[in-house]
Amino acid sequence: MRSEFETLAVAPQDAHVLLVTLNRPEVLNALNTQMGRDLVELFEGIAQEPGALRCIVLTGAGKAFCAGGDLKQRDGMTPAQWSAQHVVFERMARALLDCPVPLVAAVNGAAYGGGCEIAAACDFLYAAESAKFALPEAKLGIMPGAGGTQTLARAVGEKRAKELVLTGKAFTAAQAERWGLVNEVLAADALLPAALASARTIAANAPLSTRQVKQAIGRGLRMSLADGLAFEIEAYNRLVPTEDRLEGVRAFNEKRQPHFTGR
């Protein structure tokens, strides 16, 4: 996995936890084509070869998480150029959603448009008290196109999602927490430590287990209850013959911390 990107800062916290920072603070981390490409490369690479990685925290540099699409770059684009750029953003959204490693967002400021979509594509979110969210695309003659109509609706429900996307109005971190998009609202200086603490807790668990849990919940919610239960059992049965299952039970009985290897 490459560690240097034009628009991202990638910083391993230890052998199992990776901090990824959207890194265009001079433009509030606005999403341009290069950032889309960088996110595709990073997350598709992780999907292909996660190695020892067990959890990822995604945040923004400076005072914003991501202000949305870079409209200065988009100004004057032909329809063909716009569509070509959007293919990159579509792949970006899928790369985030399909990442097998648990992905935690630490939303440190504005998460508008594509920034809100990036945050909503994560497995769960923590947000600073000052963070704000919006999907204002209808005000620009477009609509969310990087998963926003799907991920937001699954988080906050159909009626609330329609209200937010149809009006394009901004909402606060406290509202996002109350409606189910954000898990916890924290003071700015406590945000990243809390996200990293959760990441380390996840990383201490069996990595095969956490990846199967992520799939079972994510895919199961898109199925009927009966199909979701069947999928859960398939995921469960994949863990039975693993060395980590044996190690977990052995460590419990020996009253010690388990040493999981992902096998």
Cβ contact 17:54 at 8 Å? yes
Q: What is the DSSP letter of 31?
A: B
Catalytic residues: 117, 137
Torsion of CA 169, 93, 225, 202, to 10 degrees: -100
Phi first, then psi, for residue 67 (nearest 5°) are -80, 0
Of residues 61, 63, 56, 64, the one with CA closest to residue 21: 61
